[in-house]
Chain A
Amino acid sequence: MTSVVATNQTILVVGGGISGMTAALEAAETGKQVVLVEKNPYLGGRTVQLYRYFPKMCHPTCGLEINLRRLKANPRIQVLTLAEVTGITGTKGAYSVSVKLKPRYVNSNCTACGECGKAVSTEIDDEFNYNLGKIKAAYLPSNMAYPQRYVIDPSIIGTPDADKAKAACKYDAVNLDDQEETINLSAGAIVWATGWKPYDAEKIVYYGYDRFPNVITNVEFERLADPHGPTGGKILRPSDGKEAKNIAFIQCAGSRDENHLRHCSRFCCMGSLKQTHYVQEKYGDEGKSTIYFIDIRAIDRFEDFYQKVKANPNVTFVKSKVARITEDKAGNPVCNGVNTEGYIRYANAHDLVVLALGMEPAVKGVNIPAEVMSDSSGFLMADPANAGIFGAGCATNALDVNRAVQSATAAALRAIQVVNKVARAEA
């Protein structure tokens, strides 16, 4: 049985992405007890699946390293991975929370030596790489995975492969009898930081994401560009492995659309502008990017970034929402539409089309196991009715990393206000 020490002065943070980690660390570094619950077997969330951040073009793992070091140095945070909150009862200052823990089949003895991975032969979809590749069924999710501990996929439990993994481990770290369990813990306040997910591209039927292999999503493109991704950082198109040098980016794929996402997802313009840098980085002047857009939303000093990309002769901007994608005989996706600046019809073939998918909440308001207010997109709203539950990061709005961190820092204070009140009452 997993044991967690928690009281009504504990802050529960749900979600271990950059928002959740930030909220947990800010609270813990102010002296509060924190329990951090993460669904994945590792912390970091979607940021660690990005190759670079805009506008600095720096690497998300750089900030993650700092955050992990803060975490390792801080005894006041207890981390639960493979964990999901299934129920919240009670009131502000006195919540009771049930948390379902999935088995990892690997205990804290693990040294990440990698022997179990070598022993296992079954391969599974690599979720970290948006299933663009395969990994062994005993795996370390990424180089920066924390806890730095292997995971055995449940699909091989009960097969000889699992036994091989166990036999390969010299440290008695593999526990094939690991069972799912549900634990209950107390919390005075809850920070809900379950983040976002990309809009389901298949729902935008006219872009043919499910029909054309060379139509991919912005999050997948991040993995293709990453040297530690499934292609070793080469931008290869899925259909034939050809180098994709002429790439289209379609903005508002799902966003600003009453048939899909009502809101503007805010980050996707900058995301695509950033991704044109990847094309330039890999192919120099041979790499061509075309951005199809309605409005380029490069707010505040991001405008500088936009102006720089605009000045790049290898990047073309077309003011148009692409009407549909077809495929030519060579397997090239063809963007069809009308440039609305002067009404110019086009049918442009590209090597690869990247859909700048919008953001929706990973857990919509109605699915949060507590009485909370959410907006029409399912984002958690700030509302007194939410009592001691505070949204943070992309669970509250479509935000970029910087704003998500800002939001999480604010949420940490709101949670501290509650537990400080509890502390004063108990003192």
Chain B
Amino acid sequence: MAETKTAAYICKGCEIGTRLDTAALVKTATKSGKMNLVREHDFLCSADGVAMIQNDIDNEGVTHAALCACSRRAKTEAFNFPTIAMSRGNLREGVIWIRPDTEEARETTQEMAEDYVRMACAEVKAMTVPPGNQKTGSVKTLLVVGGGMSGMTSALEASKAGYKVVLVEKTGALGGWAGKLYRRVPTREPFKAPEDNGVADMVARIEADSNIKVYLNATVAKTDGAPGRFKVEIAVESGNVAQEDIGAIIQATGFSLYDANKLPEFGYGKTPNVVDQAGLEALAKAAAAEGKPICRPSDGQPVKSVVFVQCAGQRDASGTHLQYCSGFCCNTSIKQAMYFKDSNPDIDTAVLFTDLRTPGNGEDFYRAAQNKGVIFSKGVVSQVLPNGNGCTVKFKDLILNEDTQAEVDLVVLATGVVPNSGVNIDAAAAPAAAEAPAEGEAPKEVVASVPVESILNLTYRQGPDMPQFKHGFNDSHFICFPYETRRTGIYAAGPVRRPMDILQAQEDATGAAMKAIQAMENAGLGRAAHPRAGDLSFPTVRLEGCTQCKRCTVECPFGAIDEDEKRFPLFNESRCRRCGTCMGACPVRVISFENYSVNTVGSQIKAVDVPDEFSEKPRILILACENDAYPALDMAGMNRNEYDPFVRVIPVRCLGSVNTIWITDALNGGYDGVMLMGCKHGDEYQCHFVKGSELGRYRLSKVGDTLKGMNLETERVHDVEVAITDIATLPQKINDYAALIKSFPPSPFKGF
């Protein structure tokens, strides 16, 4: 590696030059910052300024540069020097824009700027340019688990993009739930009649596709490794095990229907003339095969009247059945009602619903069914009673506001879906966790799930399957980033992720294939996956210092860290999202990234000039989440929302990456207070690393003891939940906190 040469650049544009004494800043960078080269420029982001820096890199051998100008979020196109280590001193949004342009403010504003220059210099010196890990695997074969509509779609779409696919299906045939359908809900204009289920066509395309290797009657027995280098063992019917090298995984294991036996009030199990939606499909298929009308199971006579009961065991607020809506069942009942109406318009078909949910073009399908004579009634069914070869359906008609009943030949219950999501690893880990101090989590909902075996059989330390989200689905909580699961390179697709119909599942499966392909491509290049996409850094650990406390392996939100045979942490780089939670968790501080480490932040903390206790200039350290809190502070600057001049802000990748040593170092160094700014955690978490802010907060909640041990007020460490929109309120919170700190005596640690 080339010799290190450091440089600092002080911009004078955007009034930095008039509001601040930049000559003094140059001195600061030279003397305190100890930079080899320090330059001022009137307009650093101009072509001329950029050329100056590039020239220093090319001809002066600059390897580390501290750009003291605007925020790291601004002018990124201009300040694009990928070959060197670079830090930004935020003199504009972080200093002059949040301070008044007054004579009395001048001194503290200048001190603020000088500190930011020192911090930028200290930070960049502690950084190196990450070279990227080339050791990660470069396998580009996709594993798709589940051969239903979603899985087949993922396989075909990935193949179409030129990738090899291994498709594992538990049963003896591809097609899944869709294969059991007589017809499917229409997918095209004019959305008026059921369509062919489309399975045969897809199966034929898969069989003809040389990129796709299909295992039927097979399950995943073991998944070892990481994106780009998974080793997967596939158990096949013969009892043999096949080995496959895999780059990324899509779990498209679909759903099971909610067990209608749990609904005795609706007569299921008491008479064969009450069926669930799958039962009706079977009847329709059998009838079509024999060229007969759909007959009632009790006596084989053609059905003359049928009632569809929507939301059977769904949308149940009492907690007995499914709480959610399965989304597709209204359209399915409409389709099934058409089976009857299309064969014989005289068959009475009624759909009893509370809210009919046919979004998008489903509205056309709904209208088409009405036009065919399907009757829709807003009503709540209380009971279905067997009555000879028919059923009595008791319900409340909500429009006519009366209790009434209907005598019909057949009743179809729309029971909804339960995801085939594998083992709930959080629940499985719960007994162990219960002994440990509670993490303040709400008690988990009792999910009416089917008893399950593991689907992926991951060898991960954190458990054999993907973590589950609400109601047992393998979803994420991100609105903007629906595919971001907590297992890098493993994506859920179709109704195992979220209740959805076939059309949506196919769209979802195509998107999941996109993400899986991307994960394979990036794993091979050592690039991080979302949200720090492209980041080439990865955590390294000084094993000689490791005490095997396992905090990193337990806490990693993405299950990236296993334990090796000697019980040391084993990092799997391509599973890592670079949030730094492991680094924050490590009590002996042996984990670091090239461009983000205990030292890059710690040296900034130490670089700040802490005035003595008589100066009446307290120092408050702010560790701000770079995703939300730091942009909010930036925008506070853009809006000229002023805040206290005694704070020093350091962006962190996530609250989860905050190591308590930073706090104790700051307090020992004479800082008067520490403010931590992170995203909302809990059920409605907004942390982009899912668990980062929660884990960080849990860890930091213990700092109180440290403070007591130091004889300091516990309020000196203050945790603030911040959203990116707190542009006006965050400065206020800072000022309030600063006022509180000023009400305390100065830290007794100043000057040590």
Binding site for B on A (CB under 8 A): 18, 25-26, 29-31, 53, 56-67, 69-70, 72-75, 108-109, 111-113, 140, 143-144, 148, 170-171, 226-228, 256, 262-264, 266, 295-304, 307, 319, 340-343, 375-377, 381, 397-398, 401-403, 405-410, 412-414, 416-417, 420-421, 424
Q: Would you call A298 and B325 a contact (CB within 8 A)? A: yes
Residue on B nearest A424 in the bound complex, by CB? B162
Residue on B nearest A62 in the bound complex, by CB? B724
Cα distance A23–B531 in the bound complex, in angstroms: 15
Q: Would you call B77 and A108 a contact (CB within 8 A)? A: yes
Partner among B189, B635, B724 whose Cβ is within 8 Å of the Cβ of A381: B189
Partner among A61, A143, A303 whose Cβ is within 8 Å of the Cβ of B323: A303
Partner among A72, A111, A304, A409 whose Cβ is within 8 Å of the Cβ of B514: A409
Cα distance A53–B639 in the bound complex, in angstroms: 24
Q: Would you call B686 and A56 a contact (CB within 8 A)? A: yes
Chain B interface residue count, CB cutoff 8 Å, equals 89
Residues of B within 8 A of A409 (CB): 482-483, 510-511, 514-515
Q: Would you call B161 and A416 a contact (CB within 8 A)? A: yes
Q: Would you call B728 and A301 a contact (CB within 8 A)? A: no
Tell me, rounded to whole Å, the shortest Cβ–Cβ distance linking B738 to chain A: 22
Residues of B within 8 A of A262 (CB): 361, 363-364
* B581 touches A (CB below 8 Å): no
Q: Would you call A56 and B363 a contact (CB within 8 A)? A: no
Q: Would you call B508 and A111 a contact (CB within 8 A)? A: no
* B398 touches A (CB below 8 Å): yes
Residues of A within 8 A of B45 (CB): 109, 111
Residue on A nearest B70 in the bound complex, by CB? A111
Partner among A170, A340, A341 whose Cβ is within 8 Å of the Cβ of B13: A170
* B362 touches A (CB below 8 Å): yes
Cα distance A53–B481 in the bound complex, in angstroms: 13
Cα distance A69–B401 in the bound complex, in angstroms: 56
Number of A-B contacts (CB under 8 A): 231
Q: Would you call A67 and B480 a contact (CB within 8 A)? A: yes
Residues in B657-694 with C-beta less than 8 Å from chain A: 679-680, 684, 686, 688
Q: Would you call A406 and B628 a contact (CB within 8 A)? A: no
Q: Would you call A417 and B724 a contact (CB within 8 A)? A: no
* B236 touches A (CB below 8 Å): no
Q: Would you call B725 and A228 a contact (CB within 8 A)? A: yes
Give 1 or 0 for each of B33-67: 1 = CB within 8 Å of chain A CB: 00000000001011000000000000000000000
* B267 touches A (CB below 8 Å): no
With A63-B479, A375-B189, A424-B162 known to touch, is A413 a contact of B511 (CB < 8 Å)? Answer: yes
Q: Would you call B638 and A61 a contact (CB within 8 A)? A: no
For the complex with contacts A304-B324, A398-B359, 8 further pairs of A-B residues with Cβ separation under 8 Å are A61-B724, A65-B627, A113-B14, A262-B364, A263-B361, A303-B323, A406-B483, A417-B157
Residues of B within 8 A of A66 (CB): 480-481, 531, 627, 688
With A65-B627, A297-B355, A300-B327 known to touch, is A413 a contact of B513 (CB < 8 Å)? Answer: yes
Q: Would you call A398 and B360 a contact (CB within 8 A)? A: yes
Cα distance A29–B484 in the bound complex, in angstroms: 15
11 contacting pairs across A/B (C-beta < 8 A): A30-B514, A58-B479, A73-B533, A108-B78, A111-B45, A227-B725, A300-B326, A301-B475, A397-B360, A407-B507, A416-B161
Tell me, rounded to whole Å, the shortest Cβ–Cβ distance linking B403 to chain A: 13
* B225 touches A (CB below 8 Å): no
List the 5 closest A-B pairs by CB distance, nearest first: A63-B480, A409-B511, A410-B510, A413-B514, A342-B401
Residues of B within 8 A of A171 (CB): 13, 43, 46
Which of B209-217, B517-525, B565-573, B701-709 binds A?
A: B517-525
Cα distance A408–B511 in the bound complex, in angstroms: 8
Cα distance A420–B13 in the bound complex, in angstroms: 45
Q: Would you call A412 and B514 a contact (CB within 8 A)? A: yes
With A56-B477, A56-B684, A62-B628 known to touch, is A109 a contact of B517 (CB < 8 Å)? Answer: no
Residues of A within 8 A of B357 (CB): 295, 297, 299
With A263-B363, A264-B358 known to touch, is A58 a contact of B160 (CB < 8 Å)? Answer: no
Residues in B485-531 with C-beta less than 8 Å from chain A: 498-500, 504, 507-508, 510-511, 513-515, 517-518, 521-522, 530-531
Tell me, rounded to whole Å, the shortest Cβ–Cβ distance linking B483 to chain A: 7
Interface centre among A30, A31, A74, A342 (most CB of B within 10 A): A30
Interface centre among A66, A144, A227 (most CB of B within 10 A): A66
Interface centre among B323, B507, B639, B680 (most CB of A within 10 A): B507
Residue on A nearest B495 in the bound complex, by CB? A300
Q: Would you call A420 and B162 a contact (CB within 8 A)? A: yes
Tell me, rounded to whole Å, the shortest Cβ–Cβ distance linking B310 to chain A: 11
Partner among A227, A256, A341 whose Cβ is within 8 Å of the Cβ of B363: A256
With A109-B46, A227-B725 known to touch, is A304 a contact of B323 (CB < 8 Å)? Answer: yes
With A301-B324, A407-B511, A410-B510 known to touch, is A56 a contact of B161 (CB < 8 Å)? Answer: no
Tell me, rounded to whole Å, the shortest Cβ–Cβ distance linking A384 to chain B: 12
Residues of A within 8 A of B264 (CB): none
Residues of A within 8 A of B533 (CB): 25, 29, 70, 73-74
Cα distance A31–B534 in the bound complex, in angstroms: 10
Interface centre among A64, A65, A67 (most CB of B within 10 A): A65
* B282 touches A (CB below 8 Å): no
Q: Would you call B361 and A62 a contact (CB within 8 A)? A: no
With A302-B325, A417-B161 known to touch, is A59 a contact of B190 (CB < 8 Å)? Answer: no
Residues of A within 8 A of B542 (CB): none
Residue on A nearest B47 in the bound complex, by CB? A109
Partner among A58, A109, A300, A407 whose Cβ is within 8 Å of the Cβ of B723: A58
* B631 touches A (CB below 8 Å): yes
Q: Would you call B517 and A30 a contact (CB within 8 A)? A: yes
* B399 touches A (CB below 8 Å): yes
Residues of A within 8 A of B498 (CB): 300-301
Residues of B within 8 A of A69 (CB): 73, 531
Give 1 or 0 for each of B462-483: 1 = CB within 8 Å of chain A CB: 0000000011010101111111
With A58-B723, A342-B401 known to touch, is A65 a contact of B363 (CB < 8 Å)? Answer: no
Residues of A within 8 A of B195 (CB): none
Partner among A297, A377, A402, A413 whose Cβ is within 8 Å of the Cβ of B482: A402
Tell me, rounded to whole Å, the shortest Cβ–Cβ distance linking B253 to chain A: 17
Cα distance A376–B367 in the bound complex, in angstroms: 15
With A59-B723, A70-B531 known to touch, is A29 a contact of B522 (CB < 8 Å)? Answer: yes
* B75 touches A (CB below 8 Å): yes
Give 1 or 0 for each of B314-329: 1 = CB within 8 Å of chain A CB: 0101000001111100
Q: Would you call A112 and B638 a contact (CB within 8 A)? A: yes
Tell me, rounded to whole Å, the shortest Cβ–Cβ distance linking A334 to chain B: 24
Residues of A within 8 A of B356 (CB): 295
Q: Would you call B481 and A303 a contact (CB within 8 A)? A: no
Q: Would you call A31 and B521 a contact (CB within 8 A)? A: yes
Residue on A nearest B529 in the bound complex, by CB? A29
Q: Would you call A65 and B628 a contact (CB within 8 A)? A: yes
Cα distance A365–B684 in the bound complex, in angstroms: 38
Q: Would you call B74 and A112 a contact (CB within 8 A)? A: yes
Partner among B77, B471, B639, B684 whose Cβ is within 8 Å of the Cβ of A143: B639
Tell me, rounded to whole Å, the shortest Cβ–Cβ distance linking B421 to chain A: 14
Residues of A within 8 A of B499 (CB): 299-300
Residues of B within 8 A of A112 (CB): 74, 638
* B76 touches A (CB below 8 Å): yes
Residue on A nearest B684 in the bound complex, by CB? A56
Cα distance A108–B362 in the bound complex, in angstroms: 47
Q: Would you call A65 and B631 a contact (CB within 8 A)? A: yes
Tell me, rounded to whole Å, the shortest Cβ–Cβ distance linking B279 to chain A: 23
Give 1 or 0 for each of B148-172: 1 = CB within 8 Å of chain A CB: 0000000001001110000000000
